[in-house]
Structure formats: C-alpha cells, structure tokens
Amino acid sequence: MEKATLEIDGISSYNLNLLNSAGIPAQPIKLSEYHLSVKIPSNMLKEARAVLEKHNRIYREKGLTGLKRRIVTFLTSYTLIAGMICGAVLVWLYSSLVTDIEVAGLSEITEESIISAVLHEEKLPVFYDNLDNEKLRNAVLNVEGIAGATVRREGTRIIVTVSEELPKVPVKDTQTKGNIVALTGGVVTKIVVVSGTAKVKTGDTVRPGTVLVESAVYDAEGNKTGEVVPEAIVEARVWYSEILEYPDRESYLEQAARDVQTKKDAFTAGLPKDKIFITYWVKESSNDKSVDKNRKISIYFEVIQSIAA
C-alpha cells in the first residue's frame, strides 16, 4: 500500500489520538514528546489534512512512500544519470561525426557539383577517423573546371577549398593567310571587312564553301599587291527546315497546326545567342507518287547569323 509521511508538531500523543479519532491508521517513524513523524495510507491523506487543519495542527507532508515514491525516486535519480550519459554520448557523437560539407573558392562552378562529387565518395554522416581527405580531394579534382583543391575537416564539417581553371580564351589565328568561306548557305545581310578583299556583297546568295573574303589584296587596277590574314564580319539570312508527315486523312491539319507550334517553340527556345530568329513559314505538299499519298508539312525557320569561318 502506498503511504504518505506526515510530520506533525505539538504534543505527539494528542496528534496520534487526533489521527485515530479520524479513523486513520498510523505508523510512527519518529516519535518524541513534541514531534511526530508518521506514515499513513496515501488514500487517507485528505482526511488527515482535514483533521489536522481543523485542530490547527502544524504539519508537513513529506511526500509519498511505497511504489509511487520509489518510481519518483528512480525517475529523478536514474533519469538524471541516464540523461547525463545520453548527453555525453550525444556530445561524443557530435564531436566525432562529420555531417556537413562547406565549399569555398567557387565562382563559375556550382557548389552542387562539388558536393555531389564528395558525396559520391563518402556518404555523410561519417566518423572523422574514417575520413580519407586524399580520396575526397581526388574526387573534387575530377570535377570539370577544377584546377586545384584542398580538403580538410573542421569540427563537424568537411571544408573543400577549390581553385577553378582559368576561362578558355578563344585563340585567334593571325598567321594563316587563308580565305574566309561561308559555313552555311544564305543571303548576305551584312559584310564588314577589316582586312582582305570582299568577294560578296549584301543581298548575294551564298552556298556553303563560297569564298566571302579573300586574303589577297588588289590595287585600283585590279593587280594583286599582296596577301593578308583576312578578317571580316559576315552575317546572312539562313533557313532551317523541318518536315512533318501525315497520312492522308481529314484531321491531319488540326494535328499539324499543333505540331508546327511545338516545333517552332522548340526551335526558338534552343536557338544560340549568336542566331537571331526572324520568322517562320509553313509549306504543305502531298506525295502523290507515294502509294498512300501522305501529306507533308515543311516548316522553314529564318534566322540571321554569322556565316564566316
């Protein structure tokens, strides 16, 4: 049975008799003439309080005894110890584990590519004893555009410091004295010759390989006076085409309209910066010679781009 302890001041025999008169069984623990320490059943604590207060007794409750007290004692003492042990374990774990990656020194390359290269080699969290910095460094060096890297541990983090490769500068050939030819066919819209002799003019239609600017230079009479390294800006209207084919049936036009729009969107979205989209048009034809007489939709995209090579 769970018991509560009461400490009651005053004449002990009187106080015991008070408890008795209220029908409360008591087990004195300490008994002196003017001080009584007594155990009573917990379920009679309320009656005990009532009778002691009714008779103006000075008393203190010392808390529960029995199973509940033992549980409370256990929870307060062992929980504290368990908490301290858990805390110590957590501190140890926290100080022993590497949980994060920090990358420094990036400008062009994304942090994600470095982190993924590191994580490919080592899954986090990892005990720092198991960490192989050299292996991680090699993984980082394998990332494209990385010239150098250092890997070190700092607390719970891996610090990766990288230096990127210098950007590739386009090399311009200033020695070879060759002609500038058209890379692709089109109608010349602009030609600016810095050195050399222009062989085409605005409005000319050129084919791939057509000489645009010659390395030879001539005098007013047309006599060749020498050769230079030609340099020029040549732009032209260029057409690209795509062909869609449909079986000969009534509803193909509806489908073709959707396909043309999709093709146009895809073409303009994928256009490089040095090409300027002008317009597009569609031409329809049927393949009458074919057995199934299928329908053909040709899409022409018109762009302006540099054609000089």
Partner 1 sequence: MFIDEVMFKLGITPDGSLGGDRVSVFSGRGVFVEGHKGIVSFSDSEIEIKLRGARLKLSGSGLSIKEINPDEIFIVGQVVSVVRE
Contacts with partner 1 by CB under 8 A lie at: 12-13, 16-17, 19-21, 23-28, 31, 33
Q: Which residues contact 288 (CB under 8 A, 6 or more apart)?
A: none
Torsion sign (Cα): 7, 12, 17, 18:
negative
Q: How far is the CB of 27 from partner 1 (least distance, A)?
A: 5
39/199 with CB nearer partner 1 = 39
181, 210 in Cβ contact below 8 A?
yes
Q: Provide the residue type at 261 as one letter.
A: Q
13 vs 110, which CB is nearer to partner 1? 13
Of 27 and 205, which has the nearer Cβ to partner 1? 27
Could you tell me if 191 and 201 are in contact, meaning their C-beta atoms sit under 8 angstroms apart?
yes
In 3D, which of 109, 106, 119 has the Cα closest to residue 143?
109
Nearest of 186, 172, 169, 207 to residue 306 by alpha carbon: 186
Q: How far is the CB of 87 from partner 1 (least distance, A)?
A: 45
Q: State the nearest-atom distance from the C-beta of 85 to partner 1, in Å.
A: 42
CB of 54 to partner 1, least distance (A): 17
Residue closer to partner 1 by CB (options 4, 182) is: 4
Shortest Å, Cβ 92 to partner 1: 52
CB of 11 to partner 1, least distance (A): 9
Q: CB of 12: closest distance to partner 1 in angstroms? A: 7
CB-nearer residue toward partner 1: 23 or 272:
23
Angle at CA of residue 187, ends 182 and 192, nearest 5°: 65
Q: Are strands 211-214 and 205-206 parallel, antiparallel or unpaired?
A: unpaired
Amino acid letter at 231?
Answer: E
Our CB check for partner 1 shows the closer of 33 and 134 to be 33
Q: Of 26 and 182, which CB lies nearer to partner 1 in the complex structure? A: 26
Tokens representing 21?
């008169």
Alpha-carbon distance 15 to 3, whole Å? 18
Q: CB-wise, 30 or 70, nearer to partner 1?
A: 30
CB of 56 to partner 1, least distance (A): 19
Distance CA 38, CA 24 (A): 11
Tell me how many degrees the CA angle 252-254-260 measures, rounded to the nearest 5. Answer: 95
The DSSP call for residue 176 is: -
CA distance 295 to 302: 23
